[in-house]
Amino acid sequence: MKTLENMTTIEQMEEVTAKLKERAVAAGAETYEDRVKVQTPHCKFGEDGICCKNCSMGPCRITAKAKRGICGADADAIAGRNYLRTIAAGTASHSDHAREILHVLHSTKRDGNYQVRDEAKLLRLAKEYGVKTEGRDIYDVAHEVAEVGLMEFGKPWGHQVFAKRAIKSRQDLWEKEGIYPRAIDREIATSLHMTHMGNTADAEALIRQGLRTGLSNGWGGSMIGTEITDILFGTPIVRKSEGDLGTLEKDMVNIVVHGHDPAFSEMVVTACELKELQDRAKSVGAKGINVVGLCCTANEVAMRHGVRMVGNFLQQENVLLTGVVEMMCVDVQCIFPALASLAACFHTQFVTSSPIARIPGSIYVEFKTETAMDQAKQLIKNAIDNFKNRDPGKIYIPANKQPAVVGYPCEEIIHHLDGVTNSHVDELGSYRPAVDAIKAGVLRGAVGIVGCNNPRVRPDYSHFEIMKELLRNDILIVATGCAAQLATKAGLLNFEAKWACGDGLRRVCDLVNIPPILHMGACVDISRILLLVNGIARDWGVDTTALPIVGVAPEWMSEKAVSIANYVVSSGIDVYLGIEPQLKGSAQVWDLITQGTRKIVGAGFTINTDPKGLVKAIIDGIEAKRAALGI
């Protein structure tokens, strides 16, 4: 049994970062820490959300003297508009990623670069979409499913099809409150329209549209992204992996895949297994090819191939500073433009692949579905040929590395619960054993820990502290995104981490044979958490708001995170944030997101930048829900 001593502590992670920082200085390279220094203190108006530049009469800033912009918009209108624009951008990003994946599905061929890997899921989805399947070639079905999916973005009438997966009480509420999500692009465009000069100045109306736009992401874009990715590359199953910088190999050609859209990284991973390329690597004196993942791309390829996870968001520069990365291939989102100049300080080839994420100084190879495999092979050849260009004087591979168990989509969770009681009730299975464990108090509740790192706080520290405290209090954790990768780096994402649990949680983990933190995937896969919570509510017979289950984003930073927080709250799940949203300049908007939405959707944000205070609020929140249920 592993113990506390086997973990990697935040201090140990920071030691490595400090050593790599020395390397950066020696190489004349700048890192984010340098830029944080020159960017702080941040602009107060931006921080408070009360700078408007939505028209060229401005920019207008709200001060004690100037209580209104030139058009008369006040702090509430401006902060509310800025906030809604953030949600729209986050929704657009997740959803456009999903749209790309639908195009990949549309390009599938039996002998093509991309194929259908999960036929059963495709057929289930076809049924849900009303696509005929009988007597049809699976690829014809796939193409029509892709077309129906693409219509979810722009259909002029109707609502998101997947929203029907939500329990009835939620759907009725969305209907009643006028926030049932319509076409995804419609919600994004409406948000931009509402926030144009001369439109909505009413903060509550802006917040409501934020809820609806978020819902079009959670029960629309993100859920489509998850489903279609499973169909294309397989629904994840439980696998072993490893994480942290120690997964880089001194004697191998190291290729890092980074970003979010797995269409590119899947090809790279598949191509690396080809014998011809392995042989080529050996011919240049390497022992083989080592592909590792970063950010959400890491989660995607770890769940489907066991590919090791080299780090999370704020480690992207550290990875290059090791001096052993032959190539970094990126797709979209969360990619520092700074990587181009940083790579130039080493032999690393920095390859961008998407017209959506063009970065000066990178090698741009526009990835196309028709030529994907050939492009991936060529890139890997280039990486192999780059192996000889390493500068031995610049090499430092930290030892930090932890084993991890990944790959718990809802299907796997149900499968494990089924093993306990054989309670299988329908095609989708049952969460009843989990419900019973929570009712009995063996488990006090469950928490989804998600999101990024953020240099506004001590990186990874909040994740770590919150996770340890929740486990100790018999609260099961599901994790995605960069939060899941902190769990990986720390050594909490494996069966042995049971030492960190309270007695109840440990018993459940033993019985169900699961680790205490379940890796559910990338950020788009928070849609899986929606389905999980929804399934539990269904099997319990209560609305989601009644459940002792909450979401927490201790170190969030992206616009996507704000969109996510909005769909989670709209789905009846309280959200705890460790970073303040940029809207403090409006007491009304602050009040709306922390209190007001509770009156609309029955859930809201609790914001606390102190991790100890935040985790206490989470536990108190869970216990209050239990008390209200009488358990």
Which residues here bind ligand XCC, judged by CB under 6 A? 260, 295-296, 312-313, 334, 451-452, 481-482, 523, 558, 560
Q: Which does 53 bind (CB under 5 to 8 A by kind): ligand XCC, ligand SF4, none?
A: ligand SF4
Q: Which does 451 bind (CB under 5 to 8 A by kind): ligand SF4, ligand XCC, none?
A: ligand XCC
Binding of ligand SF4 by 79 (CB under 6 A): no
Residue pointed to by tokens 């299907």: 411
Please give the Cα distance from 495 to 509 (Å, whole number).
8
Would you state the structure tokens that stand for residue 17, as one six-digit string? 């970062």
Binding of ligand SF4 by 359 (CB under 6 A): no
Tell me how far CA of residue 231 lies from CA of 42, 99, 142, 387, in angstroms.
44, 14, 9, 35
**Contact pick of 7, 13, 16, 60 for ligand SF4 (by CB under 6 A):** 60
Question: Residue 90 Cβ, how far from ligand SF4 at the closest point, in Å?
Answer: 21
| Those residues with Cβ within 8 angstroms of residue 258's Cβ, 6 or more apart along the chain or in another chain | 293, 294, 295, 297, 298, 316, 328, 329, 330, 331, 334, 335
Would you state the structure tokens that stand for residue 202, as one six-digit string? 């009413």
CB 294, CB 258: distance < 8 Å:
yes
**Contact pick of 12, 14, 34, 71 for ligand SF4 (by CB under 6 A):** 71
CB 581, CB 562: distance < 8 Å:
yes
Question: Residue 345 Cβ, how far from ligand XCC at the closest point, in Å?
Answer: 23
Of 78 and 330, nearer to ligand XCC (C-beta) is: 330
Please give the Cα distance from 522 to 408 (Å, whole number).
11
Q: Which does 91 bind (CB under 5 to 8 A by kind): ligand XCC, ligand SF4, none?
A: none
Binding of ligand SF4 by 58 (CB under 6 A): yes
Q: Which does 60 bind (CB under 5 to 8 A by kind): ligand XCC, ligand SF4, none?
A: ligand SF4
Contact stretch for ligand SF4 (CB under 6 A) within 56-64, 450-458, 482-490, 620-628: 56-64
Question: Residue 617 Cβ, how far from ligand XCC at the closest point, in Å?
Answer: 22
Question: Residue 93 Cβ, how far from ligand SF4 at the closest point, in Å?
Answer: 24
Contact stretch for ligand SF4 (CB under 6 A) within 51-59, 141-149, 199-207, 389-397: 51-59
Binding of ligand SF4 by 70 (CB under 6 A): yes
Q: Which of 491, 339, 345 is nearest to 404 (CA)?
A: 491
Binding of ligand SF4 by 287 (CB under 6 A): no
| Those residues with Cβ within 8 angstroms of residue 575's Cβ, 6 or more apart along the chain or in another chain | 550, 551, 552, 553, 565, 568, 569, 603, 604, 605, 606
Question: Residue 233 Cβ, how far from ligand XCC at the closest point, in Å?
Answer: 17
Binding of ligand SF4 by 55 (CB under 6 A): yes
Question: Residue 588 Cβ, how far from ligand XCC at the closest point, in Å?
Answer: 28
Question: Residue 85 Cβ, how far from ligand XCC at the closest point, in Å?
Answer: 17
Of 57 and 624, nearer to ligand SF4 (C-beta) is: 57
Binding of ligand SF4 by 53 (CB under 6 A): yes
Of 53 and 250, nearer to ligand SF4 (C-beta) is: 53
Please give the Cα distance from 97 to 348 (Å, whole number).
27
Question: Residue 369 Cβ, how far from ligand XCC at the closest point, in Å?
Answer: 23
Question: Residue 207 Cβ, how far from ligand SF4 at the closest point, in Å?
Answer: 18
Binding of ligand SF4 by 149 (CB under 6 A): no
Tell me how far CA of residue 402 lies from CA of 237, 239, 272, 405, in angstroms.
20, 14, 23, 10
Q: 496-515 b/e with 16+ CB inside 10 Å = b?
A: bbbebbbebbbbbbebbebb
Question: Residue 581 Cβ, how far from ligand XCC at the closest point, in Å?
Answer: 15
**Contact pick of 73, 142, 163, 255 for ligand SF4 (by CB under 6 A):** 73
The SS3 of residue 518 is: strand
Would you state the structure tokens that stand for residue 572, as one six-digit string? 């009846």
Contact stretch for ligand SF4 (CB under 6 A) within 57-65, 257-265, 366-374, 407-415: 57-65
Question: Residue 582 Cβ, how far from ligand SF4 at the closest point, in Å?
Answer: 16
- Output the CA torsion sign for 11, 403, 465, 31: positive
Question: Residue 102 Cβ, how far from ligand SF4 at the closest point, in Å?
Answer: 36
Q: Which does 558 bind (CB under 5 to 8 A by kind): ligand SF4, ligand XCC, none?
A: ligand XCC
CB 94, CB 223: distance < 8 Å:
no
Residues 155-214 that bind ligand SF4 (CB under 6 A): 197
Amino acid present at 233:
F
> Strands (DSSP E) along 325-380, which ranges?
325-330, 349-352, 363-364
> Strands (DSSP E) along 259-302, which ranges?
289-294
- Phi and psi dihedrals of 34, rounded to 5? -65, -40
Q: Which does 54 bind (CB under 5 to 8 A by kind): ligand XCC, ligand SF4, none?
A: ligand SF4
Q: Which does 58 bind (CB under 5 to 8 A by kind): ligand XCC, ligand SF4, none?
A: ligand SF4
Question: Residue 228 Cβ, how far from ligand XCC at the closest point, in Å?
Answer: 18
The SS3 of residue 517 is: strand
Q: Which does 26 bind (CB under 5 to 8 A by kind): ligand XCC, ligand SF4, none?
A: none
Q: Which does 4 bind (CB under 5 to 8 A by kind): ligand XCC, ligand SF4, none?
A: none
Tell me how far CA of residue 618 lies from CA of 99, 550, 577, 605, in angstroms.
35, 8, 10, 11
Amino acid present at 86:
T
Q: Which does 583 bind (CB under 5 to 8 A by kind): ligand SF4, ligand XCC, none?
A: none
Question: Residue 99 Cβ, how far from ligand XCC at the closest point, in Å?
Answer: 17
Q: Residues touching ligand SF4: how many (CB under 6 A)? A: 14
10 Å Cβ neighbour count for 464? 23
CB 520, CB 415: distance < 8 Å:
no
Binding of ligand SF4 by 75 (CB under 6 A): no
Q: Which does 295 bind (CB under 5 to 8 A by kind): ligand XCC, ligand SF4, none?
A: ligand XCC
Contact stretch for ligand SF4 (CB under 6 A) within 65-73, 138-146, 292-300, 301-309: 65-73
Of 76 and 227, nearer to ligand SF4 (C-beta) is: 76
| Those residues with Cβ within 8 angstroms of residue 445's Cβ, 6 or more apart along the chain or in another chain | 438, 475, 476, 547, 548, 549, 550, 622, 625, 626
Query: Length of the chain in residues, anyone?
Result: 631
Of 78 and 479, nearer to ligand SF4 (C-beta) is: 78
- End-to-end, the C-alpha distance of the chain in Å comes to 33
Q: 335-349 b/e with 16+ CB inside 10 Å = b?
A: bbebbbebbebbbbb
Binding of ligand SF4 by 25 (CB under 6 A): no
Per CB under 6 A, residues contacting ligand SF4 are 52-55, 57-60, 69-71, 73, 78, 197
